[in-house]
Structure 1
Amino acid sequence: MQVILAQPRGFCAGVVRAIDIVDRALLKYGAPVYVRHEIVHNKHVVDGLRQKGARFVEELDEVPDDAVTIFSAHGVSREIVAEARRRELHALDATCPLVVKVHTQGRQYAAAGRHVILIGHAGHPEVVGTMGQIPAPVHLVQCEADVARLDLPADAPAAYITQTTLSVDDTRNIIAALGRRFTNLVGPNTRDICYATQNRQSAVRELSQRVDVILVIGASNSSNSNRLREIGTESGVPSYLIADGSELDPGWVRDANVVGITAGASAPESMVEDVIAALRRLGPVEISTMEGIEEHAEFRLPAELADATLAPGARKTTEISDARLVAHTVAG
């Protein structure tokens, strides 16, 4: 069996930063530290941090007074931030900087008197947090039909922002529908769309041209991982979302000559290795990695954690400016 690994795949810079914040907080302040919501949507990551002393809660009333509290990578509302301050909790913000950028854009549009329209999935933690960060009503649209139902005049000053786990491809048709619906519409440059989401989706589209089956490694509640599976299916290739090798159904790959593997932005490479090990138990495997984009994005950690050094071999996030958030295309 030939196995082709997508490039890029797995952890993005925002996920690395969020996990590092929990790791370093545990190192500096000791266990337990409390994390509101799963730090990222991956059970293996969450379980690993829980074993180190992180405690995951859904609401701040589950956090003891004076406890170190971390907001997840998805972001939280202004009300959550205010409650943490009122209770004088020692709060650390692990919100992905790209999500913070969306929050800032939304507030700027609202301050300019525009109706803010958020393209995203109802109920997703990032969407809930973003809507709670903008001090004005936010109109959520999930599809083109939602655009038609917006109760706003055609000439109303409007602006759109997007959930970061949606790519340029995911939002293109909805943005076009908004452009037809409103005569005074503005929105962020497509370069502001999450680079990791777009890169992983583009890689899956290319992967689908080379394989018989696609295995997407990620959690069932991970928006970006589910979308990768959908793209594989839309490309005409049977595609399956699995958390690890234990969920592999041998029947999926029994007649496949070439199997493609990718991983969502919150899935660790160890789970890719686990799935490969499961395939090896079925027979000989030859592995290659697809040419693609090599990502070099890194995000600055909170200053108070800069002196908390991780153990040798652990992840390290280098402090660099947002201006160096880039994704370089390389051959091989």
Structure 2
Amino acid sequence: MHLIIQSSITHLSPNTHMQYSNCTDLYSVTDCFLHVLDFCDWATLVAISHTNQGARDNVHRVFREKLTRVVSRLLENWQFRAIFRQLDVTGAMIVGPIPWSVMTIDVDTPDHNLPNDINIVTPIYTFQSWVNLLQYIGYCLVDGSNLPNMGITIGNAKRFWSPSQSSSILIIESCSPSILSPVLSLPFTSEMSLISTSRLYCFYPSLVKENMTLSGFRYTSDDEIARWTSRGVKHFYSTYEWKKACGSACPAIWRCTEGLLGVGEFAWGGMENDKDIDGNMGSSAVLSLTQFKWRIGICCVNKHCQFRTQFL
């Protein structure tokens, strides 16, 4: 993973001087190792996936199990696979609560902390194909489903509901062929993570690690904030209260997608573990070759940050 966060795998052993070869031997004991992986945080899982193919396959398996747990509450298997096929066809990605949950849940996470909605960002001119697909899998467009205050980078946005209205799918259509501009103008940093059919991208991995979300430029209602805080996520309007420097989450600094600096990228292999099986982190042309610049604020008010009060 092309991450600003790095983690070591040596702490998994009681012997801090364990040799690398012994670590790789552990990875071959699949049942035992999978239990260990269930309790690893996201940065550790990514670090382990870099060691060898066996470890990577096991981390892929854990990722698929986490994704299946999050999504299976909302969709039947055939619906889930139909959506994934449509993601491939359109170049769309799942954004927000689903990727956040996959990165943060563990075996003890209660179901009520998992999302009841799937948010999908899709390129321009692909909205109608999603309407057709969602109607095919049984989701309905309810009157008044237009969403206000979605920003100028978004051409269309509608929420579709399951027949029981216990779950929903939000389709956000970009004003351009790129899905990045609407993703990076969403109201919270916790929504700026993406899952494709073979990769995961996280634009604020340090905040995911700290279970924090930060408001961006857009106005956020109390209800929108509550959707995150009810899951145990700590919300901040600004970095004023932070006790350390902002790092790459500083609202004042401009960031660029070219090269994916500071962006987490993980090749998770796809549902059949047949995509990007060699890893090849940082090689995704979908994002890394897109020259898109963004920031989430105008100035920084964190007294510990080097960019405080500067307008860059």
TM-score, structure 2 length as denominator? 0.29
TM-score, structure 1 length as denominator? 0.28
Give the structure with higher Rg (CA). Answer: 1
